[in-house]
Amino acid sequence: MLDPRRHYASLRLVALLPLVLFLPAVIAFFADPDVAWGEYLGVFFHLSILFLVSRLEAAPWAKAAGYGWVALDVLAGILMINAVEYDTAWAVRLGGHVLAGVWIVASSLVSRSWPVRVVGVITGVWLAGYSFVGTLLAEEFLRPAGIMILVWFALLAFLHRDDPAHPAAPASPAPA
């Protein structure tokens, strides 16, 4: 039986997976924002974040925001794939980005790594903040948040460490 308290993948892998899946989409945002495969890859990118939300330390309400972000952004991607009106799908995506910002900021603030904290707060505030001014600013103003989230994933992979006292930290093997 699988132990829900045990980590079956390293934090590095769990942080690098969304980075690898989102990097081509970020490049496409700059080169050809209307590329069709971007939404498909975006759905898988967001699903990979489920592993990271469950793994990073954060208050339960912050984790709920992270899971809500994934749900809304997967929904937005599927709406786009199925040619639902762009404005509707975009509004759903921006609503999800508010939740993303909450989770990114909250989980970054409890990191023991100051670069993770700084980049996470900037990324989360930018991502969530754009949602409130997205009708006034062009989508190009959201692009830096895409780059920042890639940097945040990389920092998580290489600088962030699980707190050994955290209940989800790897448990020592039980005596036989």
Chain segment 76-100, per-residue pLDDT in tens: 999 999 999 999 999 999 999 999 9
pLDDT value at 176 more than 70 = no
From residue 135, how far is each of 21, 31, 75, 92, 148 by CA, in Å? 28, 22, 20, 13, 22
pLDDT-above-70 percentage for the chain: 89
pLDDT value at 53 more than 60 = yes
Chain segment 104-153, per-residue pLDDT in tens: 999 999 999 999 999 999 999 999 999 999 989 998 999 999 999 999 99
pLDDT of residue 63: 98
Which residue is listed with tokens 């997205």?
Answer: 134
Closest CA to 156 of 113, 126, 125: 113
> Is 81 buried (19+), middle (13-18) or exposed (0-12) by CB count in 10 A?
middle
Q: Average pLDDT in the 30-57 region?
A: 89
pTM for the predicted model, two decimal places: 0.88
pLDDT of residue 168: 46
